[in-house]
Amino acid sequence: MHRLKILLFITLTCFLSACDQTPKPQKTFLLANSLFSATLSENFALLGTTEGFGELWEIKGKPSLIHKWKHTDENNGIIASDISPNEEFAITAEKNSIAWWRISDGTLLSVWNLENINSVKISPDGQFALVGLADKAIYLALQYGKTLYAFAHDDKVLAVDISNSGKYALTGSEDQTAKLWELAGGQLKHTWQHPNKLSTVALSKDDKYALTNAALSQTRLWKISNGKLHKKIGPKLITLSAAEFSKNSKYLLTGHTTQRIDLWNVKSGKLIKFWRPKKEANWRPTAATIMSMHFTPNNKKFYSIATNGFLQKWKK
């Protein structure tokens, strides 16, 4: 009986930790104990901490905190944020306000009061923001505080993205639709129906594909040119928490609410590899949500960050 108990203990321990044969990270850093939101770029991590502050970390080498930003309402916390691809500007959003920051010196450039913010994305040049609200998304000119376009939905806009070219905006709503918009004139290009509310949307860097995932449903890749379905990938019942296309648009990372990261071949829709990022303790039946991922310039490595505050660097 004693030997049986030992065997069972070893088996359980193996199941929870040692027998996990998934690839290990190259680096792991703990940036915070718990996060409401997080966004990664090539050189930075922008965190919305549970203490109500926005923290901008430089992540090359050993991470260092360079700015600590106070928003308007520390009780609600920063629910969403983004860093411009040129890494000159950032935005942070609470439930009822959005702030625009200059990264070089940490200056607060402006704050706007907007009710029921659900999601945000900043344009490649850092001069515009796509903001998901209660029944629409707005495309806001940050320098002037002026709404250029309002993209209508029938319910909350839960996920948004802007293409690297600045040509398209993608919105995903609780009304079970994802919509692709042309930013040159604000026209609707495609509408994609889903079985549940949208959880994650993303656009490829070459403007060829749009990713959409509704809660507890299969992830879909669409062709932007004609709006037709390219591939369905992954399990039929999955909720994504993050997605990121590689710089060359050949690969796709998807992050789960159950602390797993998958790497896909965009053209074939095939799974290449998967990882299980660091847990607080291997023996606990808990998991953190993957909040953001970002490829390095050569597409050979990537960073990830989860709600438990662990930043990790991986080899693709």
> Regarding predicted confidence, which is higher, 283 or 229?
229
- Domain-embedded: residue 138: yes
Task: Output the average pLDDT for the chain.
Answer: 90
Phi and psi (nearest 5°) for 143? -65, -30
Q: Is residue 170 part of a domain?
A: yes
In a domain, residue 158? The reply is yes
Whether residue 186 is contained in a domain is answered as yes
Checking if the pLDDT of 20 tops 70, the result is no
- Whether the pLDDT of residue 123 is over 50: the answer is yes
- Find out whether 82 and 67 touch, Cβ atoms under 8 Å: no
Which pLDDT score, from 0 to 100, does residue 12 have? 38
Residue 59 lies in a domain: yes
**Per the domain annotation, does 1 fall within a domain?**
no
What does the pLDDT read at residue 75? 65
Q: Quick one: what percent of the chain has pLDDT higher than 90?
A: 82
pLDDT higher than 60, residue 17: no
Q: What would the pLDDT profile of 44-89 be if each residue is shown by its tens digit?
A: 999 998 888 899 999 998 999 999 998 776 566 899 999 999 999 9
Q: Domain for residue 6, yes or no? A: no
- Mean pLDDT, range 296-303, rounded to an integer: 95
- The answer, yes or no, to whether residue 263 has pLDDT greater than 60, is yes
Please tell me the predicted confidence (pLDDT) of residue 279.
61
Q: How far apart are CA 28 and CA 52, in angstroms?
A: 24
Kindly state whether residue 18 falls inside one of the protein's structural domains. Answer: no
- Counting residues of the chain whose pLDDT is more than 70, the rounded percentage is 89
Supply the pLDDT for residue 50: 82
For residues 75 and 242, which has the higher predicted lDDT (pLDDT)?
242
Which CATH number characterizes residue 108's domain?
Answer: 2.130.10.10
Does 144 have pLDDT greater than 60? yes
Asked whether the predicted pLDDT for residue 286 surpasses 70, the reply is no
Domain residues for the domain of 158 are 26-315
Strand partners, 301: 315
CA dihedral 177, 127, 43, 296 (to 10 degrees): 50
Spatial CB neighbours of 193, under 8 Å, sequence gap ≥ 6: 176, 177
Q: Number of structural domains, the chain? A: 1
